[in-house]
């Protein structure tokens, strides 16, 4: 069991996301939150999981030299990949509207990378889920943006919120990845990482 394997380790979760923190609590993984500000930019030639791998590792590199051998640092990044472009978090309601209109009646990918680091090693894994939206009206999109303020979410939506309940036709892959963390992959990776 993972809990037994982690008893000699201290888990540091470098994420301000309440959804990711909640997942760790639900999986029974004790953790401490530590955040370091970084500029989340990446080279323009990177595509899909190359972007999230790069950003998850960039977040981890901010802790280089700070970790002890008993600490495991976990960093992650999520993007929505659509029409050959990475959609991050919308800056304002107009950008959120533009993003959701582009996702309406189409399929996109949600890609999350998770990086595990100690003072000696680093491992990064990623997960992709395909998500299809029904046709959304401008009124539905405006209602969602005004009521739910999805400015902290890649692609301007949360699958677990109203728009996911009424607007998502089907998904292919991990639901939890779309919420913000491929929990099955985190569990498997921590089991392997602590061997």
- Residue 7's pLDDT is 87
pLDDT of amino acid 60: 97
- The CATH number linked to 47 is 3.90.950.10
Token reading at 119: 């003072």
- The DSSP bridge partners found for residue 33 are 13
| Secondary structure E strands in 94-181 | 107-117, 122-133, 168-172
Distance between CA 37 and CA 22 in Å, rounded? Answer: 21
105's CB contacts (< 8 A; 6+ apart) are: 133, 134, 135, 136
In DSSP terms, 113 is beta-bridged to: 77, 126
Active site residues: 77
pLDDT for position 9: 93
9 dihedral zone (left: phi>0; alpha: psi -120 to 50; beta): beta
The model carries a pTM of: 0.93
Give the C-alpha separation, 174 to 172, whole Å: 7
pLDDT of 6 reads 87
Q: Is 41 helix (H, G, I), strand (E, B) or coil?
A: coil
Q: What Rg do the C-alpha atoms of the chain give, in angstroms?
A: 17
Give me the residue label for tokens 């959304």. 136
Question: How far is the C-alpha of 182 from the C-alpha of 128, rounded, in Å?
Answer: 9
Domain extent at residue 186: 2-193
Q: What is the pLDDT along the chain (195 residues), one digit of tens a residue?
A: 788 888 889 999 999 888 899 999 999 999 999 999 999 899 999 999 999 999 999 999 999 999 988 999 999 999 999 999 999 899 999 999 999 999 999 999 999 999 999 999 999 999 999 999 999 999 999 999 999 999 989 899 999 999 999 999 999 999 999 998 999 999 999 999 887
Tell me, what's the pLDDT at 193?
85
Q: Looking at the 3D structure of the chain, how many domains does it have?
A: 1
């Amino acid at each position: 069991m993972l809990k037994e394997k982690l008893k000699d380790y201290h888990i540091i979760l470098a994420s301000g996301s309440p959804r990711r923190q909640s997942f760790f609590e639900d999986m029974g993984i004790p953790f401490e939150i530590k955040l370091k500000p970084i500029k989340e930019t990446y080279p323009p030639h990177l595509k899909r999981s190359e972007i999230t791998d790069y950003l998850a590792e960039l977040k981890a590199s901010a802790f280089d030299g700070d970790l002890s051998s008993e600490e495991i640092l976990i960093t992650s990044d999520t993007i929505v990949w659509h029409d050959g472009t990475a959609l991050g978090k919308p800056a304002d309601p107009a950008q959120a509207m533009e993003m959701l209109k582009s996702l309406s009646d189409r399929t996109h990918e949600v890609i999350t990378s998770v990086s595990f680091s100690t003072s000696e090693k680093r491992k990064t894994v990623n997960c992709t889920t395909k998500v299809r939206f029904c046709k959304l009206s401008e009124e539905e999109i405006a209602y969602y943006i005004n009521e739910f303020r999805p400015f902290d979410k890649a692609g301007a939506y949360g699958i677990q919120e109203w728009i996911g309940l009424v607007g998502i036709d089907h998904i292919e892959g991990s639901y939890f990845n779309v919420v913000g963390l491929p929990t099955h992959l985190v569990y498997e990776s921590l089991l392997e990482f602590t061997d």
